[in-house]
Amino acid sequence: MKNWAEKYRPKKINEIVGQKEAIEKVKNFLLNFPGKKKAIILNGLSGIGKTTIVHAMSNEINSEIFELNASDLRNKSSMNLRLKPVLEQQPLFEKNKIILVDEVDGISGTDRGGVSELVSLIESSKYPIICTSNDTWTQKLSPLRKKCEIIELKEISPSEIKGVLKMILENEKKEINPETLNQISIKSNGDLRSAINELETISELGKKEIIEIYEKPKKMDIFHAMKHIFQDQAEVEMTSTFDRVDMPIDEILLWIEENLPKVYSGVELFKAYEQLAKVDLFKGRIYRQQYWRFLVYENFFLSFGISESKGKKDKKGFYKYKKPERILKIWLNNQKHAKKNSIAEKFAKKTHVGKRKALSQWNEIKYILKNPKIQKQLKMDEEEINYIMKY
């Protein structure tokens, strides 16, 4: 049986809640294809209607969706094989087509090939391409951003969410406590899918009492996170800021380092650098002694510590935050080495050859490691497999 979120997924455009502007833009894009750009990205948090809009729109304009996923893009020949029949169909029987790349930010970070495949597909495609994404601003998607018009979707308001939940309850002939209903509507933070899921779970409990709903932490991109830390008045709650950013803490550190001197000056800059020095100190201890609980301190200095360095005030104004290109490249490169290292370690352990030996014979060993059976035996994780397959 379908869960409620699926069961109540709108089939028609006019059943979609909110998102009027985005829907209008998608429609324009499709009806005027090929226009200035041949692809769009629907950007926004999860559960707000990105996938739904694409499917409902294709029903509305009577076209067909051809869906590509991250793993298709990883492998050029398999993608072309899958695409071929689509692209070569007889024009006479041809229905309009939309190529959908859902959750394009899922193309993994080590998998740069996937992004460039997509970019060249956009350049050659006869059909409109729609991507969806939670976080379009990650570094790895930058070549894609240049090819696409980016359409922002909004979070669904609590009252709109409540409206949908009530409609579902009525339809299912179920009831829950009104206060609980309010709480779900507010605390889902604009994510309608999670609100519907929560409603389904609670209604199955068959209880009428008030159930405490925990707030879903809202995702934040790195630009907003930096603005929050650098410019808002310091508060202890800031320590949770980076939990909401989809980025390893070490990469966040690079962004902070790069942008700090743009916003801070004089004494406050000096104080903030002291905080960064402490971060480095703890980082060293974390790696040397594997004291993972020091991560807490690292995070603390990097968020509240930096913010507090400017005193108890906020900073108004617009600052142009920038991504730390050069250092980031070095960092990503080191990450690559880290992959190679961890794979070599696994290999060495299984074969008793010693890690240094394994690394010195890397050129031979890497071919062995492309074998899926071996990968399984060594328990290589997805990122390690991606890494080795790209060689």
Using CB under 6 A, pick the residue from 13, 17, 83, 169 that binds ligand ADP.
Answer: 17
Binding positions for Mg ion, rule: CB under 5 A: 50-51
Gyration radius (Cα) of the chain, Å: 24
Part in contact with ligand ADP (CB under 6 A); list of ranges 12-20, 71-79, 276-284, 295-303: 12-20
Part in contact with ligand ADP (CB under 6 A); list of ranges 10-18, 92-100, 327-335, 381-389: 10-18
Residue 47 touching ligand ADP (CB under 6 A): yes
Nearest one of 166, 193, 206 to 182, comparing CA atoms:
166
Residue 46 touching ligand ADP (CB under 6 A): yes
Using CB under 6 A, pick the residue from 38, 147, 193, 339 that binds ligand ADP.
Answer: 193
Contacts with ligand ADP in 147-176 (CB under 6 A)? Answer: 156
Quote the DSSP letter at residue 305: I
Structure tokens at 211: 């159930």
Q: How far is CA 342 from the centre of its chain?
A: 25
Part in contact with ligand ADP (CB under 6 A); list of ranges 3-11, 211-219, 257-265, 310-318: 3-11
Residue 258, classed as helix, strand or coil, is helix
CA-CA distance, 235 to 324, in Å (whole number)? Answer: 26
40, β-bridge pairs: 130, 149
Total binding residues toward ligand ADP, as defined by CB under 6 A:
21
Residue 50 touching ligand ADP (CB under 6 A): yes
Residue 10's binding partner among ligand ADP, Mg ion, none (Cβ under 5 to 8 angstroms by kind) is ligand ADP
Residues 117, 68, 12, 219, CA torsion sign: negative
Residue 196 touching ligand ADP (CB under 6 A): yes
Residue 158's binding partner among ligand ADP, Mg ion, none (Cβ under 5 to 8 angstroms by kind) is none
Using CB under 6 A, pick the residue from 98, 99, 184, 192 that binds ligand ADP.
Answer: 192
CB 257 within 8 A of CB 324: yes
CA angle 332–334–335, rounded 5-degree value? 60
Using CB under 6 A, pick the residue from 38, 40, 51, 344 that binds ligand ADP.
Answer: 51
The Cβ of residue 26 has, within 10 Å, a number of other Cβ atoms equal to 24
Minimum CB distance to Mg ion smaller for 192 or for 252? 192
Going by their DSSP bridges, the two strands 129-133 and 96-101 should be labelled as: parallel
Minimum CB distance to ligand ADP smaller for 134 or for 180? 134
* DSSP class per residue in 142-198: HHHHHHEEEEEPPPPPHHHHHHHHHHHHHHHT----HHHHHHHHHHTTT-HHHHHHH
Using CB under 6 A, pick the residue from 26, 30, 43, 49 that binds ligand ADP.
Answer: 49
Residue 34, classed as helix, strand or coil, is coil
Contacts with ligand ADP in 295-354 (CB under 6 A)? Answer: none
Q: Which residues bind ligand ADP (CB under 6 A)?
A: 5-6, 8-10, 16-19, 46-52, 132, 156, 192-193, 196
